Amino acid sequence: MNDVRNLFGAEFSPEHQAVLQQTKIDKRLMTQQNWPFENRIAGVTSGAEMNEASNDDPSEYFDDQDVAEDAMVYIVEGGQICYGSKRAWETARGC
């Protein structure tokens, strides 16, 4: 799983990497550009991990499907914290 998290660090400038690595920084996910919300991040997973989990105990995931790509990274949304800002999309760096 550390390799998956390192993929995200490689997408950011050195300044952003330094900020993200600080343990006192709250990391949030901004969603819905037209009506933005700030959300907690529940975690990070990959398509491979999700597909493997369904093989462990198929009855536990009976209503779920495998994802199409093993080589996919997912940021999993936690709970909503507050309203967000549309400026996030104006200032976001492309991946």
Query: For all residues of the chain together, what is the average pLDDT?
Result: 78
**Model's pTM, two decimal places?**
0.61
DSSP annotation of 71 reads: S
Cβ atoms of 36 and 8 closer than 8 Å: no
For residue 94, pLDDT over 80 is answered with no
Report CA torsion sign: 2, 10, 82, 76.
negative
Q: What is the pLDDT of residue 4?
A: 41
Q: Which residue type does 44 have?
A: V
Average pLDDT over residues 52-61: 67
**pLDDT-based confidence at 71, cuts 50/70/90?**
confident
How far is Cα 73 from Cα 19, in angstroms, rounded to an integer?
21
